[in-house]
Amino acid sequence: MLPTGMTPGSLVDIGSDSSNAGNGSINRSESINLMLAALVAQVLPNGNFVIDGHQQVRVNNELRDLKVTGIVRAEDITQDNTVSLAQIAEARISYGGTGTVSDVQQPRYGSQLYDIIMPW
């Protein structure tokens, strides 16, 4: 039995608060115009090729990483042994990087951990 005026809701107060404040500015513009060499990773029973290509370029202390995988028909390969991106079926394209600018754009590890533990 609780004393008069005491309610179960007033016994425990659970809450959390998190805030971040900061100022910053990054102006960034990238344009990708390149040719990527890919290898035939597998020949499918219908004669199509599974391709896999990977290229890394370092620009201003940033390592830019481009990966392309997909399926190419033999008839889509031109005489100079190239394939347009539009001709790659099930294309999976990954473009990212690591470096100073990429690191600054990510929340700090402590903030990421806190958000996982206390998502509300």
Look at residue 40 in the predicted model and tell me its pLDDT: 94
Q: Write the pLDDT tens digit of every residue in 41-96.
A: 999 999 999 999 998 888 777 788 889 999 999 999 999 999 988 899 999 988 87
Q: Where are the domains of the chain?
A: 35-98
CA–CA distance, 120 with 118 (Å, rounded to integer): 6
Burial class (CB in 10 A: 0-12, 13-18, 19+), 49: buried
pLDDT of residue 117 exceeding 90, the answer is no
